[in-house]
Amino acid sequence: MPGSTLISKRARALRPSLTLAISARAKTLSQEGQDICSLSAGEPDFDTPAFIVEATVKALHDGITRYGPAAGDPELREAIASKLRELNKIDARPENVLVTNGGKQAIYNLFQVILNPGDEVLIPSPYWLSYPEITLLAGAKPISLSSSPDNGFSLDPEQLEASINSKTRLLILNSPGNPTGRVMTEEEMKLIAGILRRHPRLLVMSDEIYEFLIADNEVHHSFAAVAPDLADRIFTVNGFAKGWAMTGWRLGYLAGNQEVIKAASALQSHSTSNVCSFAQRGALAALTGSRDCVVAMTKRYNARRELLTNGLNKIKGMSLVPPKGAFYAFPELPKKSPDSIEFCKLALEEVGLAVVPGAVFGRDKCIRVSCAVSSKIISDGLQRLNEFASRY
Ligand code: PLP
């Protein structure tokens, strides 16, 4: 068993991505000339706004090509802190901010510095697939809190409180959520804050990476703003990937308790060091420039989300909790259909449709359908899904 001697226990605990097999197969089929329609995208299809690119090119010409402080450029930390204060109503200073290689590294660094082996992490399900894996990498134990489409995938406060024991260290919140597109209300957050007040050892990570991608009549609330008295226990994760269409730039941030930020910065200084210096200038331009580009993209996603929602609602046998944010819908498969992995494999082979199995998000019997593609592709995908789902 070469794997057991070569690979560390830590790495062996990681589960290979189930989605990779489907996307690799979709690519092969497409290269073979088959007509494939993909509603599996997890990133914006828009280009990064030109003024951000221009600021970055200028930074390169200006020689911003050297190492910088591990925690991020002071101007960018200041701009992030001021955005958190003004927009999110979180009382952040630059010392509370760490600039990271994407939201993902913010989560990774946070978990590495606050979790000990044996700690339990509460993860409301359906969840973004990296949460359990990053938890395992920190030696902690992911505990899934199930929810039902019957109550809109909301987190049950009683179930949450009943799941807390002496080992429970962290609760993950993600609103707007991937994969459901769910947006948490302020009331729900207040209920959760009440539970936290009864459990002083419990910390919270609030992943707000989709904050700008939200339906017109919805409001994004930052958990740290809803419970300012708990600020020292709440860590906000965010980034530039989704709102500004900057996935490949790898720019994110972690905000919270200064002691934890210092520890996460020390960890970063020995792993990746500073985030790409000239890319940080692009992030600074994004934050300090006009938000019109974000508003324009949000408008397009909102129209596409509606198109997707209306189309899914018309498919017989499938049911949907209407998404209110992000760029996904998470419908339930018809009762007689196979599990989500098999359903997705067959949909690809038989009608050339690529969608993501719900199993990877902790809920089989659902699929994740993306609207981060053109309306034409969404309509085409809906037709294929309708045809395929009608078999069950
Ligand atoms: N959090 C959620 C819920 C996501 O869906 C993603 C990316 O898909 C991330 C965090 C990480 O984003 P980034 O590209 O900034 O690392």
Q: Give the dihedral sign, CA 20/374/281/236.
A: negative
Indicate whether 137 and 188 sit together in one domain.
Answer: yes
Low-confidence residues in the chain, pLDDT < 50: 1
Cα–Cα dist 26/41, whole Å: 12
| CA dist 12 → 5, 134, 365, 385 (Å) | 10, 13, 27, 36
Question: Which residue's structure tokens are 């995938």?
Answer: 153
Give how many domains the chain has, as a whole number: 2
pLDDT of residue 189: 98
Indicate whether 35 and 159 sit together in one domain.
Answer: no
Q: Give the dihedral sign, CA 11/246/211/55.
A: positive
Domain's final residue, options 288, 315, 336 = 288
Expressed in angstroms and rounded, the spacing between residue 225 Cα and the centre of ligand 1 is: 21
How does DSSP assign 223-265, residue by residue?
HHHH-GGGGGGEEEEEESTTTTT-GGG--EEEES-HHHHHHHH
Q: Which of 23, 48, 99, 104 to mutate to test the pocket of ligand 1 (most atoms within 8 A of CB)?
A: 104
Expressed in angstroms and rounded, the spacing between residue 176 Cα and the centre of ligand 1 is: 12
pLDDT of residue 27: 85
Q: Nearest C-alpha to atom 12 of ligand 1 is from which residue?
A: 103
pLDDT of residue 377: 96
Expressed in angstroms and rounded, the spacing between residue 34 Cα and the centre of ligand 1 is: 30
Question: Which residue's structure tokens are 């630059």?
Answer: 94
- Sequence letter at residue 212: F
Q: Considering just the CA atoms, what is the radius of gyration of the chain in Å?
A: 21
pLDDT of residue 1: 47
| CA dist 121 → 142, 145, 173 (Å) | 5, 10, 11
Expressed in angstroms and rounded, the spacing between residue 111 Cα and the centre of ligand 1 is: 15
Are 213 and 325 in contact, with CB atoms under 8 Å apart? yes
Expressed in angstroms and rounded, the spacing between residue 101 Cα and the centre of ligand 1 is: 11
Expressed in angstroms and rounded, the spacing between residue 370 Cα and the centre of ligand 1 is: 14
Q: Is residue 54 part of a domain?
A: no
- Sequence letter at residue 351: V
Domain's final residue, options 261, 288, 315 = 288
Q: Which of 98, 129, 214, 242 to mutate to test the pocket of ligand 1 (most atoms within 8 A of CB)?
A: 242
How does DSSP assign 86-113, residue by residue?
HTT-----GGGEEEESHHHHHHHHHHHH
Q: Buried (b) or exposed (e) across 2-38, using 16+ Cβ within 10 A?
A: eeeeeeeeeeeeeeeeebeebbebbeebeeeeeebbb
Expressed in angstroms and rounded, the spacing between residue 381 Cα and the centre of ligand 1 is: 24
State the CATH number of the domain containing residue 348. 3.90.1150.10
State the CATH number of the domain containing residue 146. 3.40.640.10
Helix (H, G, I), strand (E, B) or coil at 15: coil
The helix (run of H) or strand (run of E) holding residue 280 is: helix 277-288
**Which atom in ligand 1 lies closest to the alpha carbon of residue 42?**
8
Indicate whether 355 and 284 sit together in one domain.
Answer: no
The set of protein residues with a Cβ atom below 6 angstroms from ligand 1 is 42, 102-104, 128, 174, 178, 207, 209, 239, 241, 247, 252
Cα–Cα dist 91/234, whole Å: 12
Indicate whether 261 and 312 sit together in one domain.
Answer: no
Q: Which of 101, 107, 209, 254 to mutate to test the pocket of ligand 1 (most atoms within 8 A of CB)?
A: 209
Are 372 and 44 in contact, with CB atoms under 8 Å apart? yes
DSSP state at residue 7: S
- At what angle are helices 340-351 and 375-389 packed, to 10 degrees? 110
Indicate whether 122 and 33 sit together in one domain.
Answer: no
Contacts (Cβ under 8 Å, ≥6 apart) of 330: 126, 153, 179, 180, 181, 320, 321, 323, 358, 361, 363, 366, 367, 368, 369
Domain's final residue, options 231, 264, 288 = 288
- pLDDT, one tens digit per residue, over 147-172 is 999 999 999 999 999 999 999 999 99
